[in-house]
Structure 1
Amino acid sequence: MPEFRLNKTVLTISEGDIVQAGTEAIVNAANSALADGAGVTGAIFKAAGPELARFTTKLGGCPTGQARLTPSFQLPAPTRFIIHAVGPVYGDYDTREAVQLLSNAYRSSLELAALNGIKSVAFPAISTGIYGFPLNLATGVALRTVLTFLKDAPHAIEEVRFVLRGEQPLSMYRLELAQLLAQLPAEITGDDTIYFYDKDEPYYEFTNFAPYGFFANNTFWQTSEHYFQAQKFPKMALYEDVRQSSTPSAARHLARQNFRRQRPDWNQVRLDVMREALRLKFNDNPPLVRLLLSTGERPLVEASEDDAFWGYGPDRQGQNNLGKLLMELRDYYRATSGEPPKQLEG
């Protein structure tokens, strides 16, 4: 799962069942009655057993924007507590008030954890289910609130985990969190350089294997890796075979199997081909442009130990040409206020 760091706190984003989060406390997206319900609430009450409902009945409910703490009852170890956070029903408030109440629910949960010595907490996407809070807006509220709390109380909590359902929230949380952390100074995040390569690490979006497709000449490309590898075989049937490969890894493997057939000038044109691949990818995926711009002036380095041309290589002294092209593209977007470049000069 993607792992980020802020001071000494680890932040992770994963897909799955929050009941199985493996943190000291999990957060229930609760209703104001603190009663059993649907979605996350129903799953937690079912797993915790009937003792939970008997306990919450005695608490007398909880106002919107606040949280309450209960034992975990029959939830699997190491979870010892449930934090019941009551988010707003989006349609019951104007947007500004709904945002503030949602932020309060997250902050109240973290304050309860800190006050009770809880060192690891797992959150769902509060209020984004039947309460109707727009996911894109709720994501920003959740992450900004959590980061602000962790900056103000850097030693309070060791791990915050976001446990989500579905590819859309996973991608949205990952992009937003990477963008927010990129804006923080190195003394908080721990390093000025941004390394990208592994799927389970931050900034995987910058790799050519990341699943961000685009159109070029009315043809859809699954990834920039597909596009890059296919350009080795112009006007050949192999070009289309590479394009239609099931995965970026398969596209690269097919191209490498046929390296003797690649265009004779490949070493001379490959930088320009990669430049074009990145341009197409980022132009068709505006969230990636925002993520790229959020990195400011921080160095971008492809952390591939196997490739000293595109990455930093086995001795970390490689050419890092992919990182350099990304920084070049970043400079262009910055100079043009994020407007897509029609074509970058080599």
Structure 2
Amino acid sequence: MIGDGPSVIVPLDNRILYFGRDRERFRFLSHFHSSPIVIDGEAWPTVEHYYQAQKSANPQYKAAIRAAVHPGLAKRLAAPPTSPRRVSQSSWFRKHGEQPRADWHEVKLDIMRRADYAKFVQNGGLGILLLATGNAELVEDCPSEPFWGIGPDGTGLNWAGRVLMEVRDGLRVGPSSTPS
């Protein structure tokens, strides 16, 4: 228990695998979790919606992502048009003959940091829950995602979990140390 905050039972291995193993108790860590955020005066239903919307400055694209009824649909709409057909068949980019921003791979981590920070500050109860995870390692144990998760062999980069731990550390020391 952290201060007067909620009690969060961290698994004995001090790792929270929030995509699979520990999903029920820690689904609030997911970018798909319903937690509205406002960034630059724009409201988004989830971190995933905001993140995917940043792939293009086209207002029609952003409106389509914002209107997606589920974060999974937002992700499918944002698929690069060059992805395999099974991935890009719903792509807004494919349908409109456009490409995602050229610098996407250089900026995506900072975009996610900003979105996660907004989520846990603007939804105070979630910030308290994040802090209550203590020093547990946060792991997106997604077998199909080697960048944001740990991938099929467990050696992925786990950037989703790493960003969450950065945000948690920033919340501990105060708002001046984290993205706004």
Q: Which residue does the alignment assign to 2:48?
A: 225
Name the structure 2 match of 1:274. Answer: 112
Structure 2 partner of 1:246: 69
Relative contact order, CA 8 A, sep 6+: which one is greater?
2
TM-score, with structure 1 as normaliser: 0.43
Q: Deviations over 1:158-182 (max 9, x none)?
A: xxxxxxxxxxxxxxxxx95xx4313
What does residue 160 of structure 1 align with?
none
Aligned-residue sequence identity (percent) comes to: 34
Aligned partner of 2:9 in structure 1 is: 181
Deviations 1:72-119 (A, max 9, x none): xxxxxxxxxxxxxxxxxxxxxxxxxxxxxxxxxxxxxxxxxxxxxxxx
Q: CA deviation at 1:287?
A: 1.0
What does residue range 127-276 of structure 1 map to in structure 2 within 5 Å?
A: 176=6, 179-182=7-10, 189-198=11-20, 201-256=24-79, 257=91, 258=93, 261-276=99-114
Determine if the alignment matches structure 1 residue 344 to structure 2 residue 167.
no
Cα offset, 1:220, TM superposition: 1.6
After superposition, the Cα gap between the structure-2 partners of 1:236 and 1:220, relative to the gap in structure 1 and judged at 3 Å, is closer
**For the Cα contact (< 8 Å) 1:279–1:341, is it kept in 2?**
no
The alpha-carbon deviation at position 280 of structure 1 amounts to 1.2
Report the secondary structure of 2:68's partner residue.
Answer: coil
SS of 1:202's equivalent?
helix
Which has more radius of gyration? 1
In structure 2, the partner of 1:313 is 151
Alpha-carbon separation, structure 1, partners of 2:151 and 2:58: 32
CA drift at 1:236? 3.8
- From the two aligned structures, give the one with the greater strand fraction: 1
- Give the counterpart of 1:303 among 120, 134, 141: 141
Give the drift of 1:341: 5.0
Deviations 1:225-263 (A, max 9, x none): 000000001134111111111110110010111275100
Letter in 2 for 1:196: Y
Q: How does 1:84-95 map to 2 (within 5 A)?
A: none
5+ residue gaps, structure 1, are: 1-174, 183-188
Structure 2 partner of 1:289: 127
Shift of 1:307: 0.3
How big is the alpha-carbon RMSD for the aligned residues of Structure 1 and Structure 2? 2.1
TM-superposed deviation, 1:344: 2.5
How many residues are treated as equivalent by the alignment? 160
Whole-angstrom CA distance in 2 between matches of 1:220 and 1:328: 23
Provide the rounded CA distance (Å) in 2 between the counterparts of 1:309 and 1:226.
18
Tell me, yes or no, if the aligned pair for 1:310 and 1:322 is still in contact at 8 Å: yes
Residue type matched to 2:14 in 1?
D
Residues 138-188 of structure 1 deviation map (CA, whole Å, 9 limit, x = unaligned): xxxxxxxxxxxxxxxxxxxxxxxxxxxxxxxxxxxxx95xx4313xxxxxx
Q: Distance in 2 between matches of 1:266 and 1:180?
A: 35
Cα deviation, residue 311, structure 1: 0.4
Report the TM-score, using the length of structure 2 for normalisation: 0.81
Could you list the runs of 5+ residues in structure 2 that have no partner in the other structure? 80-90
